Structure 1
Amino acid sequence: MGNPTAKSESAGFFREIFPSRRLPESAARPPNPRKSAIGDRAMGDVVNLNRFRKTREKAERTKEAEANRARFGRTKAEKDRDRKEAERRTQTLDGHKLDGED
Structure 2
Amino acid sequence: MNSSLLQTQGLEFSLNGKVNSQLSVTFNHSHMDSEYINKLNQFAYFGAADLSDSIDPKVFWGGTLSGLINTEDGGEKGGTPDDISSLLLRYKLTPTFLLHFDLR
Decide: shared fold, TM above 0.5.
Answer: no
TM-score bracket, shorter-length normalisation: under 0.3
**TM-score normalised by structure 2 residue count:** 0.21
**TM-score normalised by structure 1 residue count:** 0.21
Could you say which structure has the higher helix fraction? 1
Could you say which structure has the higher strand fraction? 2
